[in-house]
Copies of this chain bind each other. A is one copy, B any other.
Amino acid sequence: MNLLGLARHGLNPFEQFALLGVLVVALISLLYAWLLRGSVLKHDKGDQKMQDVWNAIRIGAESYLGRQLRTILPAIGLLTIAMFLSVFVVQPSNEAAVEFPQNTSMIIAVGRTIAFIMGASFSLIVGQLGMRMAIQANVRAASAARRGFNEALSIAYYAGTITGMLTDGLGLLGGTIIFMVFGKASPDVLLGFGFGGTLLALFMRVGGGIYTKAADVGADLVGKVEKDIPEDDPRNAAVIADLVGDNVGDCAGMAADIFESYEVTIVSALILGLALSAVEPNPALKLRWIVYPLIIRGIGVISSILGTFTVPIWEKFPIKWLRAHDAEESMFRSYEVSSVNTVVFSFVVAILYAHDWRLAALTSIGVGLAVAFNPLTSYFTSTKKQPVKDIVKATDTGPATTILTGLSVGMESSVWALIVIAISFVFALLLYEGDGSNYVLYAVAMIGIGMLSHTGNNVAMDSYGPISDNSNGIGEMSWHGMEDEATLKARQIMADLDAVGNTTKAITKGVAIASAVIAAVSLFASYFADITRVQIQLNVPAALQLTSINISSTKVFIGFLLGGALPWLFSSLSIKAVSRAAAEIVIEVRRQFRIPGIMEGTKTPDYGEVVGISTKSAQKELVPLATIAVVTPLMVGLVLKVEALGGFLAGVILCGQLLAVFMANAGGAWDNAKKSVEDEPRNLAANTGKGSERHKAAVVGDTVGDPLKDTAGPALNPMIKLVNLVSLIAAPIMVSHENLGVVGWIVVFAMLAAWIWAFAQSQKHVDLTKEIDVPAVAGNK
């Protein structure tokens, strides 16, 4: 049997069917997304006022994405060429030469280039379409809130599911097609696919993160702090930018980020699988190491569809003890359905097809890991648990103790998150230690495959957050001053939806970070495996081949120190970037407030101007950060060589993980501590509720936490993956050019110059005392 010529890769009939099945599943998930789109769009968009607000958000968000695309297009163009040429600097793998005996380099070069463009486009599509759907849904959910809770919830949740299914479908489609075409040569090509996705994710995550917090902080600093007007007040010129920010940051950025993890875990699983496949003694089982992860991904997508499909049934489920009490519980119940389904079928496939139950145990551990992060994140950030209660108590003694308690909570949460990840690795070790270290590395990659198998559900739950947040904002703005009962009831529904969204957003954030780390560790493992492969191919003498990344070697230790420093630098710079961008917004909002009529509410502020400033400065801040992320590992690898670069990667992963979780959870805990205080009865004498001194302290905590949890922390996810992927791609070049030569050193110094330029950009200042006195007439349209 030879379906679509798949037999030439050595696939047996079952494997050929299975791969086609996976492909079909990928297409089904895209179809499911399309069907969901229809069901969301059929709802109404509410009255004219709502649509006005909504249009402003929509135009702002689209103009952001458009501008972002223009900013990064030159970089993408340049890197497309680099991808193409990279194949000619170091010859493709021996496997590629076997698959394509003629024109090997050219075929791989074209393949890698197309894959790169495909990876980048898919990431872009997930971000762009996902965000557009979110925007389509938010006004509809707001309108539906007037009719009832469930309708509003299902609009928001299913719009989120669209993004989830796009992530699943495109990720699976890309990986499967590449394997079908390139067979054993696919790692050469998959690197391009992974890199395209990673690069776009970095751009969207970092740019979106800076945008969203610059707008948020800028709006708050002038609105809440200086003018003492409430959040989402339509008189504040930055309020639309703030709402746009939720979409470009939490929605587009997050989706691209998770898509990337989804992609690179499959890339590293295939790379590590090929290494095992080469030494597999049983010819009939040779390809199981590669086909198994693809099948599991297919099963995961089916599970996700099944799970998200069941959301509405849980509140009326016939069996009582399984019945859900509220919307949140329904989402979790549906997640459990997906999990059970994946675990069961992965054991079926592992035992019947791969003849190794341990593979299913690993993917199940991965599934469990994603689930384990729920209670963990929730313990440290939920208002019902001790850590947030401690922060609330600390507000008694002012902002300083509030901050200190939050820092301590964040630090501790980071430790436990890391311990959970370490435990999952212990399982990989226990199951495969006897088989050798390459098997353990593959086992770690399988945990990653399992962990991301329910990306559909995760992205759905995450995208639900900004959608409900935005509906709430649209309500606040378009129903400003309306106090009739129907409106009040609709508002309460939206506030409830928003609260659910905050929880699901926090949880998926935890999963996103953990998945980034698992993905990065898989890439790190592939890095080591790949260097060995390249060295053999380049006929490096056995004595000089890399057998370990020896951290007790001083050179590796130096790389390791530098690697650990990178996430700290990245965090420091991204916090600064937010401050700078926020400062520009502050200046503009202040200017508009001086225009007569704005503060009185008789004139509409120029929202577009602030959106434009936000967009522009986010782009400006993005480029230096991306430059540092790409150039640093290359410099370390070229100067200190591949083994030290391995140390560097380990340092990046460790410090990246610890810092990212610390920032995300400290921020989440402060956020919820503030909400706790706001939910107290307002009594200034007893120092409780909104407006009290305790509330002010809590607001300080929340404001500190915002850029940590929504910019600096999330920016680390794509960064650690990008650094690992860049190293993986560049490793063959570094191995084959041990002696740099003049050209090599020129390249290093050019990179150093780029690094210094990027760093210098990040040290610039915005003069907040600069007050442009633009004539009031010109300033207002």
Minimal beta-carbon separation of A525 from chain B (angstroms): 7
Minimal beta-carbon separation of A710 from chain B (angstroms): 13
- The answer to whether A550 touches B553, judged by C-beta atoms less than 8 angstroms apart, is no
Given A407-B704, A551-B551, output 8 extra A-B contacts at Cβ < 8 Å: A403-B700, A404-B578, A411-B569, A444-B554, A548-B550, A549-B551, A560-B650, A561-B657
Q: Interface on chain A toward B: helix, strand, loop, or mixed SS?
A: helix
Q: Is A31 interfacial (CB 8 A cutoff)?
A: no
Which of A5-13, A274-282, A414-422, A480-488 participates in binding chain B? A414-422
The distance in angstroms between the C-alpha atoms of A768 and B393, with both chains bound, is 9
Pick the 6 closest A-B CB pairs, nearest first. A548-B550, A400-B703, A411-B572, A528-B552, A412-B572, A408-B575
Q: Is A229 interfacial (CB 8 A cutoff)?
A: no
- The answer to whether A571 touches B411, judged by C-beta atoms less than 8 angstroms apart, is yes
Q: Which residues of B lie under 8 Å from residue A573 when comparing CB positions?
A: 408, 412
The distance in angstroms between the C-alpha atoms of A557 and B443, with both chains bound, is 14
- The answer to whether A404 touches B655, judged by C-beta atoms less than 8 angstroms apart, is no
Q: Is A429 interfacial (CB 8 A cutoff)?
A: yes
Q: Which residues of B lie under 8 Å from residue A708 when comparing CB positions?
A: 407
Q: Is A249 interfacial (CB 8 A cutoff)?
A: no
Query: Chain B residue with minimal CB distance to A639?
Result: B426
Query: Chain B residue with minimal CB distance to A428?
Result: B554
Contact with B along A569-613 (1 / 0, CB 8 A): 101110110110000001000000000000000000000000000
The distance in angstroms between the C-alpha atoms of A708 and B400, with both chains bound, is 12
- The answer to whether A551 touches B646, judged by C-beta atoms less than 8 angstroms apart, is yes
Minimal beta-carbon separation of A292 from chain B (angstroms): 19
The distance in angstroms between the C-alpha atoms of A563 and B594, with both chains bound, is 55
Q: Is A471 interfacial (CB 8 A cutoff)?
A: no
Q: Is A150 interfacial (CB 8 A cutoff)?
A: no
Q: Is A425 interfacial (CB 8 A cutoff)?
A: yes
The distance in angstroms between the C-alpha atoms of A350 and B398, with both chains bound, is 58
Q: Is A394 interfacial (CB 8 A cutoff)?
A: yes
Minimal beta-carbon separation of A639 from chain B (angstroms): 9
Query: Chain B residue with minimal CB distance to A390?
Result: B765
Q: Which residues of B lie under 8 Å from residue A398 when comparing CB positions?
A: 221, 225, 700, 703
- The answer to whether B414 touches A565, judged by C-beta atoms less than 8 angstroms apart, is yes
Sample (17) of A-B pairs whose CB atoms are under 8 Å apart: A225-B398, A396-B768, A408-B573, A408-B579, A411-B572, A414-B565, A415-B565, A418-B561, A419-B565, A425-B554, A429-B554, A429-B555, A437-B552, A441-B552, A528-B552, A551-B647, A654-B655
Q: Is A558 interfacial (CB 8 A cutoff)?
A: yes
- The answer to whether A400 touches B548, judged by C-beta atoms less than 8 angstroms apart, is no
Minimal beta-carbon separation of A557 from chain B (angstroms): 7
Query: Chain B residue with minimal CB distance to A410?
Result: B572
Q: Which of A37-59 contact B (CB under 8 A)?
A: none
- The answer to whether A700 touches B400, judged by C-beta atoms less than 8 angstroms apart, is yes
Which one of A396, A554, A556 has the highest number of Cβ atoms from chain B below 10 Å of its Cβ? A554
- The answer to whether B552 touches A429, judged by C-beta atoms less than 8 angstroms apart, is no
